[in-house]
Chain A
Amino acid sequence: MAEQTLPLNAGPVTDSGRVPTVVVDDVHVIYRIHKGASGGTTPVSALKRIVSRTKAPNIREVHAVKGVSFTAYEGEAIGLIGSNGSGKSTLLRAIAGLLPPARGAVYTQGQPSLLGVNAALLNDLSGERNVVLGCLAMGMHPDEVKKIAPEIIEFSGINERGDFASLPMRTYSSGMGARLRFAISSAKKHDVLLIDEALATGDRKFRVRSEQRVRELRDSAGTVFLVSHSIGSIRDTCERTIWLESGVLKMDGPTKEVCDAYENQK
């Protein structure tokens, strides 16, 4: 790749003396999606495809992040904004090391934790057992889990209307499930914290409680990334903001400048 074709921010960087915690270096993330059966996929056309050696139509490669570079420092809270499908969540997953980048590299201090509402849980099991499983999956020790489990259920508030913790999770409303998942994933201390839309779940009372929890987590974490569509909460919590648009870094700077530019383009 010739140097002049690189985007501005992919060139050399100066060592400003601040301690970097996350370095994202020209990262491309591509993932494959199996679309499943769609129109026109008869056995005959599939055979034709194999004979003529064209790619399967039901596998599509999504180039979600296209060469993003930036450096995050200790004590920073960084907001990620952009329209739906601009690659914000994918970028967070690449930083957390969950989606391997196709090109480029992400360097991090310690193991970043992605705090999302998507942590997969078993729907056929009770909320209590899901709490235990979720904590073990985050690498906690069983003794620690036993101690912290009642607090998690208390924080999630699912027991406010009767004993829901002992019922299978498939009986929960979507809000209740999301609250429990947030409660589980926020129960651990984190070095680098990645928060994906977590504040948008639950009712008003829970939102206040979870915003408080995020602020506590932020104070103990080195660096916090926050993905949100609510510009308000980005302005409240982050001093720096990165604007992604269709997988490309469009703007990176102080929250006020970036958010103003983002809102003005609409």
Chain B
Amino acid sequence: MANTAVADPESGLTRAQLAQRYGLRVAGERPALGEYARRLWAYRHFMTAYSRAKVASSLSNTQLGQLWQVLTPLTNAAVYFLIFGVILAQHRNVPNFIAYLCTGIFIFIFTQTAASNGTSAITGNLGLIRALQFPRAALPITVTLVQLQQLLMSMVVLAAIVLLTGEPITFRWVLIVPMLLLQTIFNVGLSMVMARLGSKATDLKQVMPFVMRTWLYASGVLYPVALIREHLPNWAANILEWNPPLVFIELARYALLDSHQPNLISSPLKLWAMGLFWAVVMGIGGFVYFWRGEKEYGRG
């Protein structure tokens, strides 16, 4: 290679040496992890503004506009209730099935959309990536922030459903805040992993709906969680107990549904430990994994 060929140290330098002598840096070089995190922090205003803009623009050409932020989760809950609550009548064993179902669906959708939209966080923004230099991790984080804003709207709907179905307001409602914090960190990590995978394997986007549907059935959303212990062999139930969406959903039910207390899949303390575990592992692991690929994003 040319940059290793030194012909005559008196008269000539390789270009790499010349660059080094004047302190030039490799263009688009990947910064160290700490420096990368610092730069990302400097872009926090961009991330919040971009996610707010995305929420605003996503519904701007519908008649009902932002009303869909409330209507979408409501319709979703209605459809699942029709199938699993009325037609299949799963609710016989669950005291407050509507609230049980809606909590599960809304919490699951938060993780689901973070994963599926994260897959196209890089491929869907190639124009931006090829035009401007910024820490690419801003893009999967923006994806999660968009979903978080929609989730907060769903949470308002959920609070109304939970109250209307006769659940009391307890002090445990406050716990929904740390629970959502843990889930958000988990989702950021997850969408970073999916973003890097999706930037290379573009076929992933086609497979995601099926992966997500399987995950939905494994997360105790549509049926009573007691069924997991009743129908699966012990080892399988023990593994499934660690399924992150299931952990977060059960934590949310623990916080909001008084009637669900006796039926939790694990003890509350264990749920919190597992939630914390997933947030830390996925948050840090996803960030490091995404950072390692920083130089490759943009080649398409």
Contact = CB atoms under 8 A, between A and B. Distances in A.
A and B bound?
yes
Interface of A: 1, 3, 6, 10-15, 19-26, 30-34, 69, 71, 93-100, 103-109, 111-114, 116, 118-120, 122, 124-125, 129, 132-133, 136-139, 141-142, 168
A111 B133 contact: yes
Contacts of B61: 124
A136 B131 CA distance: 14
Interface in B92-135: 125, 127-134
Given A3-B5, A119-B132, A13 B300 contact: no
Nearest to A73: B22
Contacts of A125: 53, 56-57, 60
Given A107-B19, A125-B57, A112 B7 contact: no
Contacts of A111: 133
- Which 10 pairs from chain A and chain B are nearest by CB? A97-B28, A12-B12, A107-B19, A124-B57, A120-B127, A97-B27, A107-B24, A25-B15, A136-B46, A106-B27
A120 B139 CA distance: 14
Contact of B298 (A13, A21, A100, A109): A100
Nearest to B138: A137
Interface of B: 1-3, 5-8, 11-16, 18-19, 21-29, 42-43, 45-46, 49-50, 53-54, 56-57, 60-61, 125, 127-134, 202, 295-296, 298-300
Grouping DSSP codes into helix (H, G, I), strand (E, B) and loop, the A interface class, with mixed when no group exceeds half, is: mixed
A142 B50 CA distance: 13
B43 to A, nearest CB: 7
Contacts, number: 165
A43 B49 CA distance: 43
A96 B127 CA distance: 14
A217 B107 CA distance: 50
16 contacts: A6-B5, A11-B12, A12-B5, A12-B6, A26-B3, A71-B15, A95-B27, A96-B28, A97-B29, A98-B298, A106-B27, A106-B28, A113-B133, A125-B60, A133-B49, A139-B134
Contacts of A124: 56-57, 60-61
Contacts of A23: 15-16, 18-19, 24
A148 B13 CA distance: 44
A108 B300 contact: no
A138 B43 CA distance: 9
Contacts of B19: 20, 23, 25, 107
B26 A105 contact: yes
B45 A136 contact: yes
